[in-house]
Amino acid sequence: MHLGTPWGLEVILYLFLAGMGAGTITASASMLLRGGGGDGQYFSIARYGALVGPFPVVIGTVLLIFELGRPFRALNLYKVINLSPMSLGSWFLAFFIVISILYALLFLPWPNWHGERMSSWRRRIAWICVPSGLSVAIYTGVLLGAMPARPFWNSPIIAMLFMISAISTGMALIIFTRALFYKVHLDVPTEERSWHGSGYVLAATDVLLIGFELLVLFLLLMFAHLTVGSVKYAVEIILPGGELAVLFWGGVVLLGLVIPGVIEMFFVAPKLLYGGHYTAPRSIDIVVPLAVMVGGYLLRYVIVMAGQLTGPVGL
């Protein structure tokens, strides 16, 4: 998985998987707290997120550890703490893995798992999950942005972009999992209402996040293009004619953002604009999140490669 650059596919996959997992847990915990922590439509959304969220984070972290060549050296990260974004991030990540697994365990069908005691614990852990998930989602962007020697990355907005993409792909993972596993009897009116009700919450949030992500990408490109010097030359790699342009415009922007955004908007708009009815077929809830996740991966790929393939101009 060597691409001829210091950071290869393992790192790119880690950035994507950890971001998505952190986004999933953050979204799940927010949904749980939004619904007051009890049962109901928010609870079922939160449960899908909680149960699926830790997997990508753990898989990504394992990939990252094996990328080091000698995996046990990763323990050296936990002998010190300093202000390097990677040091802070590794502590955040370790804490988050523990807390997200704990959070997931609270959603397993233990005896009496609907009791007040369990749901109060779920609420407490959810309060910790939101900030720790956000810190994992945002530190990867800070990590890339910290270096003047990598002009493509050296922008505060990369962290914002990664955080929004993390929550958006996390949301997509929840929609995807729910569409695959939710057993719903659409002939029962109450069940149908709850299924479409929670579907609307998820789709509307995802549309909002996709809109924000497009906005942040626009700002990134606009400022890079309007400046002179290293950043201007670096951003040429994703502008039309650049080495990564097709992947960026076709994969990230079109497949990952514009197409899913338009499709979800089509289903969300009636309820959003004039209080109509939200109904989306299950196939849409499978295909659209897949596109968002592929787009999220390609975003990490394009950003990480573009940063490594470009450098400061002049000497």
Partner 1 sequence: MKEQDKMPDDRRGFVMALGGAIATAFAAIGSMLLPGSAAASLTDDEDEHDSEEAVVEVQYGMVIDVRRCIGCHACTVACKSEFDVPPGVNRSWVEYTEKGQYPNVGRSFLPRLCNHCSEPLCVDVCPTNATYRRDQDGIIAVDHGVCIACKYCMHACPYDARFLDPVNEWVDKCDFCIHRVSKGLAPSCVNTCVGGARIFGNLADPDSAVSKLIARHRVSVLRSEMGTFPNVYYIDADFTDEVDRRRPELREVRVITHRRHKERT
Using the rule CB under 8 A, is 9 a contact of partner 1?
A: no
Alpha-carbon torsion 55, 61, 63, 66, what sign? Answer: negative
Specify the residue, 6 or 111, whose C-beta has the smaller distance to partner 1: 6
Site map 199..238 versus partner 1, x via CB under 8 A: ----------------------------------x-----
Q: Should residue 276 be labelled a site residue for partner 1 when binding is judged by CB under 8 A? A: no
Q: State the CB neighbour count (10 A cutoff) for residue 87.
A: 15
Which residue, 55, 19, 34, is CA-closest to 133?
19
For partner 1 (CB under 8 A), the number of binding residues is: 40
- Whichever of 116 and 187 has its CB closer to partner 1, that residue is 116
> Which C-beta is closer to partner 1: that of 36 or that of 250?
36
176: nearest Cα among 27, 8, 5: 27
At residue 17, φ and ψ (nearest 5 deg) are: -65, -45
Judged by CB under 8 A, does residue 108 bind partner 1?
Answer: no
Find the binder of partner 1 among 66, 94, 115, 124 (CB under 8 A): 124
**Using rule CB under 8 A, residue 7 touches partner 1:** yes
Q: How far apart are CA 85 and CA 104, in angstroms?
A: 27
Is residue 315 involved in binding partner 1 (CB under 8 A)? yes
Stretch 154-183 residues interacting with partner 1 (CB under 8 A): none
Distances (CA, A) of 202 to 107, 170, 183, 196: 19, 11, 17, 10
- Per-residue binder mask for partner 1 (CB under 8 A), 76-95, x = binder: xx-xxxxxxxxx--x-----
**Other CB atoms within 10 A of residue 205 CB:** 21
Q: Residue type at 300?
A: R
Under rule CB under 8 A, residue 47 binds partner 1: no
List, in order, residues 6 or more apart from 200 with CB less than 8 Å away.
268, 271, 278
**Binding partner 1 by CB under 8 A: which of 34, 114, 120, 250?**
120
Contact between 138 and 162 under an 8 Å Cβ cutoff? The reply is yes
Return the number of the residue (229 or 276) whose C-beta is nearest partner 1. 229
- Point out which residues bind partner 1 (CB under 8 A): 6-7, 68-70, 73-74, 76-77, 79-87, 90, 116, 120, 123-124, 127-128, 143, 146-150, 233, 307-308, 310-315
